[in-house]
Amino acid sequence: MQVQTSKRSLTLSAVAVLLAGVLLAGLFSWLRTPPVRAQVSAQTATTTLPRTVTVVGEGKVSIEPDTARATIGVEVLRPSVQEASADNSEVISNVLAALQAQGIAEEDIQTSGFTIFAERYGPEGPLPEDQVNYRVSNNVNVVIRDLESVGTVLDAAVEAGANNIYGIEFSLEDQSAAESAARAQAVEDALAKAEELAGLTGVAVGSVVSISEVVGGNGGYYSSNFAEQARGLGGGGGAPIAPGQLELVMQLQVVYEIGEAQ
Contact 252, 56 (CB under 8 A): yes
Q: What amino acid is encoded at 220 in this protein?
A: G
Distance CA 106, CA 97 (A): 10
pLDDT tens digit sequence for 111-136: 999 999 888 876 777 877 778 889 99
Which bin fits 20, alpha (ψ -120 to 50), beta or left (φ > 0)? alpha
Return all residues near 227 (Cβ < 8 A) that are at least 6 apart: 167, 168, 169
User: pTM for this one?
Assistant: 0.64
Residue 106 DSSP symbol: G
Least confident stretch, 76-85, 167-176, 181-190: 167-176
The per-residue pLDDT for 234 is 37
Query: In one letter, which amino acid is 180?
Result: S
**Is 60 exceeded by the pLDDT of residue 247?**
yes
Domain boundaries, the chain: 2-46, 52-63+176-223+243-260, 67-171
The angle formed by the CA atoms of residues 208, 211 and 217, to the nearest 5 degrees, is 140
The Cα 193–Cα 181 span in angstroms is: 19
Q: What DSSP string runs through 128-167? A: PTT--EEEEEEEEEEEE--GGGHHHHHHHHHHTT--EEEE
Q: Strand ranges (DSSP E) for the chain? A: 52-63, 67-78, 109-119, 121-122, 125-126, 133-144, 164-171, 203-213, 246-260
pLDDT for 229: 37
For 168-190, the DSSP string reads EEEE-S--HHHHHHHHHHHHHHH
Q: What is the CATH number of domain 52-63+176-223+243-260?
A: 3.30.110.170
The strand pairing partners of 195, in sequence order, are none
Strand partners of residue 121: 126
Instruction: Report yes or no: 260 and 205 within 8 Å, Cβ to Cβ.
Output: no
Choose which CATH entry (3.40.50.300, 3.30.70.2970, 3.40.50.970, 3.30.1490.110) describes domain 67-171.
3.30.70.2970
Kindly report, residue by residue over 173-230, the tens digit of the pLDDT: 999 999 999 999 999 999 999 999 999 999 999 999 999 999 875 555 455 443 333 3
